[in-house]
């Protein structure tokens, strides 16, 4: 069964956290987030895909909450791609963390590493090479342009 778009809400230290999951497309609505006030975090970890109309719907949501203290966290590569392609996708939001995708040159295994932006700001580097947890070789490299994951540090 196909995953459905969903937004789940929790509170963390007085901040509302919105967990967005599933595919973001023309049918996705962000009414819960549009009603936010003051400070919020959007957790994108569960997002599977995002199409062009999904991007537009998100950008329209961001316009409605302009001026609030907005943070994005756990952004998967599909979201990082949009952060790079469409500046209004991010608008004035802070990016707290992103998943950097790795691909093994030996066995084509994929994995993701969560990178915190405040660690990059303190001088930590994104590992260029990692050990593959499937074949054990030190052959996992970043799948994509490293700079797109560092631009928020």
Partner 1 sequence: MSTAPKFDPNANDQLICGLFSKKEAAQMIAEGGTHIHSTTMGYRDEMARFSNALLNEKNPEPHPWQLLTNCREVTLGSSGERYKLIKRATVDMGIFSRRGYSEKVECVMEELITNGIYHAYVNADGSNKYRRDSSVKLEDQETLTVRYGATQEGIFISVEDKGGRLTLEDIGSAFYRCYYNPDNQIVDDEQGSGLGLYMVFDLVTHFRVDVFPGQRTVVSCWIAGRRIAHPSIFSFNFFKRGA
Binding segment (CB under 8 A) for partner 1, from list 5-13, 33-41, 82-90, 123-131 = 82-90
If binding is defined by CB under 8 A, does position 86 make contact with partner 1?
yes
Query: 71 or 148, CB closer to partner 1?
Result: 148
How many CB atoms within 10 Å of residue 59? 16
Q: % helix / strand / coil in the chain, to the nearest 5? A: 25, 35, 35
Structure letter (DSSP) for residue 88: H
Alpha carbon distance 9, 68 (integer Å)? 17
Binding segment (CB under 8 A) for partner 1, from list 38-46, 99-107, 118-126, 128-136 = 99-107
Backbone torsions φ then ψ of 124, nearest 5 degrees: -70, 140
Residue numbers of the site for partner 1 (CB under 8 A)? 2, 26, 48-53, 55-56, 59, 77-78, 81, 85-88, 101, 103, 105, 108, 110, 143, 145
């Amino acid at each position: 069964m196909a995953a459905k778009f969903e937004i789940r809400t929790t509170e963390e230290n007085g901040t509302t956290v919105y967990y967005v999951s599933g595919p973001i497309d023309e049918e996705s609505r962000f009414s819960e987030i549009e009603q936010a006030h003051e400070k919020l975090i959007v957790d994108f970890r569960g997002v599977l895909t995002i199409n062009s109309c999904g991007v537009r719907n998100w950008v329209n949501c961001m316009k409605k909450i302009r001026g609030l203290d907005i943070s994005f966290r756990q952004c998967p590569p599909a979201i990082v791609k949009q952060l790079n392609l469409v500046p209004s996708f991010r608008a004035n939001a802070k990016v707290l963390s992103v998943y950097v995708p790795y691909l093994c040159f030996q066995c084509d295994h994929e994995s993701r590493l969560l990178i915190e932006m405040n660690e990059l700001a303190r001088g930590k580097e994104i590992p260029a090479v990692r050990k593959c947890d499937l074949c054990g070789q030190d052959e996992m490299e970043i799948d994509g342009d490293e700079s797109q994951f560092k631009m928020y540090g």
